[in-house]
Amino acid sequence: MPATVTLSPDNFAQALADSGLRNTPQREVIYSILLKKRDHPTADEVYARVKAELPTISLATVYNCLEALVNCNLVRAVNFEREPTRYCPNLHPHAHFHDETAGSTHDIDLPPGLLEQVRAILPPGYDASSIEISFRGRTAPEAATR
């Protein structure tokens, strides 16, 4: 498993507060669902999982919660062309690999210093606020079941 960085419940509430957001039971449950199964679910998949714990929650609320978690940098929105947005709670810098055959998305650890090297290729005067590294392709069957 790639290295991950996650937050304690206190830090979770603090991260929301730092962004001017309240902690709500829905936000907490959705965050815990993202932590529980790190397969980069879509909003629809999160909705299906959260209904087991919060049967009355609406899809709109799920979207709002995910947006709040992304806005306070607790969760990354992961986008692949022509695919719905996926959500990732791994705060460690990492790349994503999207398996086009299986439809699954995997975390890929980056070697130390790689992001700095990538940032260094920018011409003078360009300041990147984020760098996304993503791969598309396929994984061998034995690798995909890790």
- Judged by the rule CB under 5 A, the positions of this chain that interact with Zn ion are 88, 90, 107
Nearest-approach distance from CB 134 to Zn ion, in angstroms = 10
| H or E, element range at 36 | helix 25-36
Nearest to Zn ion of 30, 88 (CB atom): 88
Query: Residue number with the shortest CB distance to Zn ion?
Result: 88
**E strand intervals along the chain:** 76-78, 86-88, 94-99, 104-109, 134-137
Considering the complex, what minimum distance in angstroms separates the CB of residue 108 from Zn ion?
8
CB of 58 to Zn ion, least distance (A): 26
Taking the least distance from each CB to Zn ion, the nearer of 56 and 130 is 130
Label residue 98 exposed, middle or buried (CB < 10 Å: 0-12, 13-18, 19+): buried
Cβ at position 126, least distance to Zn ion in Å: 25
Question: 92 or 122, CB closer to Zn ion?
Answer: 92
Nearer to Zn ion among residue 26 and residue 90 (C-beta): 90
Burial readout 2-11 (b: 16 or more C-beta within 10 A, e: otherwise): eeeeeeeeee
Phi/psi of residue 86, nearest 5 degrees: -115, 160
Sign of the dihedral through C-alpha 47, 48, 53, 55? positive
Q: Closest distance between Zn ion and the C-beta of residue 23, in Å?
A: 23
Closest CB to Zn ion among residues 14, 104 = 104
DSSP-based three-state secondary structure for 14: helix
